[in-house]
Amino acid sequence: MEELRKTKSSTLCRVFELLCTTDDGRRGRLTTRHGIIETPFFLPVATAGAMRGLSLGDLHDLQAQALLSNTYHLHLHPGEDVIAAAGGLHGFINWQKPILTDSGGYQIFSLRGLRKITDRSVEFRSHTDGKKHILGPQEATQIQHQLGSDIVMCFDECPPSTASRREIEKAVDRTLQWAKICKETHEKLSAPSLLFGIIQGGLHADLRKKCAEELIALDFDGYAIGGLAVGENEDEMLGVLREVTPLLPVEKPRYLMGVGVRHQLQACVALGIDMFDCVLPMRIARHGTILLSNGSEMRITNAEFKHAHEPIDEHSPSDLSRTHLKSYLHHLFRVHERYAEAIACKQNLGVTLKTMQNLRASIEMRK
């Protein structure tokens, strides 16, 4: 049966072409209205349409293939009407490659103290001005269409992986109920966007299976695995992937949300994941942890780097790290210069994107 599904993969799906599968992972191409994405790949997170410390030109230099932006934050400001009038998010931020928009479901997890959830929707109190906003599956889908997203994510409930089984059961039921509404709304809007369902279920294999099977029956363009990297350890996360990934259609892209640690990327690609996003590389960069192209990392604020008059990373994808000294970056961090953030963020994102390029090359060599 598995071999039969593999032979059909290139003909069943018009948007995702599976080129090969090896022990190192899957190699494919995802077609969107703003271009083709080579998989596996990593999405830089431009929450409000920009990345702190980096320009969109920097992202082009680093060969980023697509961006992730957030529905909830863009809805709060400037508002989807403003963005639609500017030609959609692509025109508003001047980025002509693919954009995936998170639905706002993650904010159910991250803004627990500012929201009230019902079976119909979520009432948020804005974290900026306290105003009330209602976001549900229909609203989230409509907003993403107004933003002009290439990949629209279903609105889901993302509980902590350490939540009680009863809480996670309720979240799965809501996620499935909302997925149906998202699909109906998406189809009525008739835009050329792709729609991905999100599999919840915490660390419970039976709940993950239930959620996956019911979403697959609804026939989405791709499937995301959510609710991980939110409290569990690495072994638990990988255990969930070993249970869920074999259930997913071979001919559809698979997206693991919120994971960006380099060795985890490699392990998850080997388990069949095609897409990732994470704020971690940028977050740790802003606090002085620098990822290096040889696989190691350094804490550039440590005193040992005060006299380290050598390139930050001579093999870096980032021109800034090839031309600036470790001692200079150490100095910039110690005197709180904003340029430190630009150098560090470009380095960490560049190394992360290069990791995905290397994984694609490794898979091609093994085929």
Cα separation, 230 vs 250, whole angstroms: 27
Annotation says 102 is catalytic: yes
- By DSSP bridging, strand 289-291 and strand 297-299 are antiparallel
Number of residues that make up the chain? 367
The token pair that represents 174 in the structure block:
């809501």
Cα separation, 15 vs 69, whole angstroms: 21
Residue 289 bridge partners (DSSP): 299
- By DSSP bridging, strand 25-32 and strand 35-39 are antiparallel
Cα separation, 240 vs 248, whole angstroms: 13
* Separation of CA 48 from chain center: 14
The CA–CA distances, whole Å, from 340 to 62, 142, 286, 331, 333 equal 18, 39, 8, 9, 6
Q: Which of 156, 221, 274, 277 is catalytic?
A: 277
Query: Which region holds residue 63: left if phi is over 0, alpha if psi is between -120 and 50, else beta?
Result: left
Percent of the chain that is helix, strand, coil (3-state, to 5):
45, 20, 35
Residue whose structure tokens are 């599904």: 5
Phi then psi for residue 348, to 5 deg, are: -65, -40
Cα separation, 16 vs 63, whole angstroms: 20
The token pair that represents 9 in the structure block:
């993969």
Q: Which of 24, 58, 102, 150 is catalytic?
A: 102
Letter for the amino acid at 126? Answer: S
The token pair that represents 227 in the structure block:
């609710």
Annotation says 119 is catalytic: no
Cα separation, 56 vs 239, whole angstroms: 36
Active-site positions read 102, 277
